[in-house]
Amino acid sequence: MKFPKCDETPLGIYPIVDRAYKLKPLYEVGITTAQLRTKDAFQGKELEDEIIEAIKISEAYNARFFLNDFWELGIKHKVYGIHLGQEDIQDADVQAILDAGIRLGISTHTPKEIDIALEFEPSYLAIGPIYVPISKKLVYDTVGTEDLISWSLNVDYPIVAIGGITIENIADVAKTKAASGIAMISDILEKNEVSKERTLALIDIFNKY
């Protein structure tokens, strides 16, 4: 099992958004990788329409778009990539995702989970939470930058650092050079809408390192 690569360009600032329309302003300022994570906000046709719109917007900007969780719909609509959590990879038809030529990102939180994810030879690994998460309750111990560096030494795939990363601490993560991408959720937003200014500032910091 070996999933397609995301290409050689670093994943960069990797926003995770809850609505398809939020992708356009991100791509307009230079974001090249993004994820739609709607969780339970939509169901049925409404969910499928949201995914179709996200794919359409992403393809217009030639962006690397990952869909969180809904792997059946991802296969149906030929999404660029699918992102799954540790529990999801046990339940999903990972072979079907591979057969469809779709890229796969997998969440990891511990060295053991990294070992499990590496068995799938994914397109990238997400490692976190680096710091205390802003958008969700802390379930796993924080990784911190030192463990991010040490864990990355055993990984030959692109790494996405995630969890509690803000405009104030992103430089500390970027300096490690361990991450091909840095996932951002809250800090690309202002009053729950995409802030182009904040996103550009984050891109600038990432590119310094």
Compute, in degrees rounded to 10, the torsion defined by CA atoms 155, 185, 94, 159: -10
Judge residue 73's burial from the number of C-beta atoms within 10 Å of its C-beta, 0-12 exposed, 13-18 middle, 19 or more buried: middle
Q: Which of 19, 24, 37, 198 is catalytic?
A: 37
Q: Which of 107, 123, 152, 180 is catalytic?
A: 107
Buried b (16+ CB within 10 A) or exposed e, 163-172: bbbeeeebee
152 catalytically annotated: no
177 catalytically annotated: no
Q: Which of 76, 136, 175, 177 is catalytic?
A: 136
Q: Which of 54, 61, 113, 115 is nearest to 79 (CA)?
A: 54
What is d(CA 128, CA 161) in angstroms, rounded to the nearest whole number?
Answer: 6
150 catalytically annotated: no
What is d(CA 131, CA 65) in angstroms, rounded to the nearest whole number?
Answer: 25
Which positions are annotated as active-site residues? Answer: 37, 107, 136
